[in-house]
Amino acid sequence: MLKILVGHAYYLKYDRKQWERGKPYPPLATIQVAALLRQLGHEVALFDAMLAEGTEDFVASLHDARPDLVVLYEDNFNFLTKMCLGRMREAACRMIAEALGTGARVIVAGSDASDHPEAFLAAGAEVVLIGEGIAALAELIGRLEHAPGVAIPDWVAGLAGVAAQTDGQLQLTRIGALPPDPRLVGHPAWDLIDVERYRSVWYERHGYFSLNMAASRGCPFRCNWCAKPIWGNHYMQRTPADVAAEMSFLKHSFQPDRIWMADDIFGFRVDWVTAFGEHLRATDGAVPFTIQTRADLISERMAEALAQAGCAEAWLGAESGSQRVLDAMNKGTRVAELIVARERLGRHGIRACFFIQLGYLGEQLADLLATRDLVAQAAPDDIGVSVSYPLPGTRFYELVKAQLGRKTHWRDSGDLAMMFRGAYDSEFYRSVRDLLHEQVALQQTKAGTSPESRRAACAALDARWDALIACEDAHRNHDATLPPAPRQIALQMR
């Protein structure tokens, strides 16, 4: 039996935007792995960075746990871990150094580590898992248990999907993305989470408490900007009964007011969602929940089934109001489907929210204004706005990598900086983001507002749009390296 400290390196306090947002969730994938390691017979402790003050808290956990092995396993369900956020990578590297200083062995896993294992090996990690890495992790731990002093070459011998440095050389055999490992079953190790600390933050900031769970892993769709270093295009869905049992467990154990379903794509099939709702009603396990989904999945039957199951809010990957941008993204959805999906969800009492992406390759002013018009017509209940982020391993990254300069990743999620030469500079896109948010806020303040006040607010917002459009040429990237026209981009990606 080994003493294992499982942890992750996403510190909410190192991400000012997310700290101010104040919606922390426990590291779901991390505590799934912790549960698996306990099932394998090991003594497991958890370091949860989410609400920690900083890496100094990790040092204290090391001294308390005195582990033989530290496994830094990032939460694959936290979409921010798909990015290389500079502050989090720096934190992980400091944690690796601290762990080595205690004599513990160190294994690292996560999207950034899968894309850039050399950065974590240089910091002192002995092994980096590529992808989900569950099979390799179980084998490495078994070898370490039987030979605690095993040298790195022998520790990783014959294992594919792991990266290590031997004799100063990177040793890595990539095996491609594998389906989600079926060994990650059963409840995560919720007993290792300080749930009351999370509850306190949520109530202080929002007046309610939300927890997270996931009904599936992976996504079968092929949007060309979405990084999938963990599962590729594999998708594995749990049974409706199993997911309902977990929601019932959370409801009766921790009394959350809401649940965030962290799936990339929730539900997928109407019959699954219908059965899920039936199991929840049979066990009194329903908690109002939020999902991520796609417009083309929201049929009338799906909207009704989601409502019956207790879905309170659905975030749609709208991305753009321009069909040519959606086509260049290989999104596979139509602008008209977004409007219909929003209407269907609204009729069934489900809040419909849009993820918006600005600055995609080839997007021009007319496309940005089409997005503004989509938001005006569909009137989503909320929006999340970002700019296109070139993630390694994506087709989008391959198209723009020649344009990438010294800045290759964001420091934190509030960076919102363009890292390739889009049509406009970062300041312009930040202004568009702010105006879109103001537009949604204005649309949500209809009740209790006098017609005169609304007209004045609308006129002021229109004036700000007009002013931004009038000076857009000053923000344009006038350069011969501008990306090709959208039609050429679409042809390149076939």
Distance CA 395, CA 224 (A): 5
Please report which residue ranges of 66-164 form alpha helices under DSSP H.
86-101, 111-115, 117-122, 134-146, 152-155
Q: What is the structure's pLDDT at 379?
A: 96
401 is written with which tokens? Answer: 């990598």
Q: How many CA atoms lie within 13 A of 369 on its CB side?
A: 9
Convert the pLDDT of each residue in 34-49 to its tens digit. 999 999 999 999 999 9
Both structure tokens of 425: 């500079």
Q: Please tell me the predicted confidence (pLDDT) of residue 479.
A: 61
Helix/strand/coil (H, E, C) string of 8-44?
CCCCHHHCHHHHHHCCCCCCHHHHHHHHHHHHCCCEE
Residue 456 has pLDDT above 50, yes or no: yes
What's the sign of the alpha-carbon dihedral 469, 322, 290, 312?
positive
Q: Summarize pLDDT for 78-122 with one digit per residue, the tens.
A: 988 888 899 999 999 999 999 999 999 999 999 999 999 999 999
Mean pLDDT, rounded, for 420-448 = 91
Residue among 295, 292, 336, 337 nearest 315 (CA)? 292
Lowest mean pLDDT among 1-10, 220-229, 253-262, 352-361: 220-229
Where does 190-492 sit in CATH, by number? 3.80.30.20
pLDDT on residue 486? 42
Q: Do 101 and 58 contact (CB within 8 A), yes or no?
A: no
pLDDT given at position 489: 38
127-165 tens-digit pLDDT: 999 999 999 999 999 999 999 999 999 999 999 999 999
3-state secondary structure at position 72: strand
Residue 288, SS3?
A: coil
Q: How many helices (DSSP H) and strands (DSSP E) are in the chain?
A: 20, 15
Which tens digits make up the pLDDT trace of 365-400? 999 999 999 999 999 999 999 999 998 888 999 999
| Amino acid of residue 157 | A
Measured between alpha carbons, how far is 184 from 156 in angstroms, rounded to an integer? 22
- Looking at the DSSP bridge assignments, the partners of residue 292 are 315
* 195 burial type by CB count under 10 A (0-12 exposed, 13-18 middle, 19+ buried): middle
Q: Domain ranges in the chain?
A: 3-172, 190-492
Q: Is the pLDDT of residue 482 over 80?
A: no
Query: Does residue 449 have a pLDDT over 90?
Result: no
**Mean pLDDT score of the chain, rounded to an integer?**
93
Q: 231, exposed or middle or buried, with CB in 10 Å at 0-12, 13-18, 19+?
A: buried
Band of pLDDT at residue 494, cut at 50, 70 and 90: very low
* pLDDT band per the 50, 70, 90 thresholds, residue 448: low
Distances in whole angstroms, Cα of residue 138 to Cα of each of 159, 336, 436: 11, 47, 47
Per residue in 250-295, pLDDT tens? 999 999 999 999 999 999 999 999 999 999 999 999 999 999 999 9
Select 3-172's CATH number: 3.30.70.920, 3.40.50.2300, 3.60.15.10, 3.40.50.1820: 3.40.50.2300
Task: Return the closest-CA partner of residue 58 out of 71, 39, 42.
Answer: 71
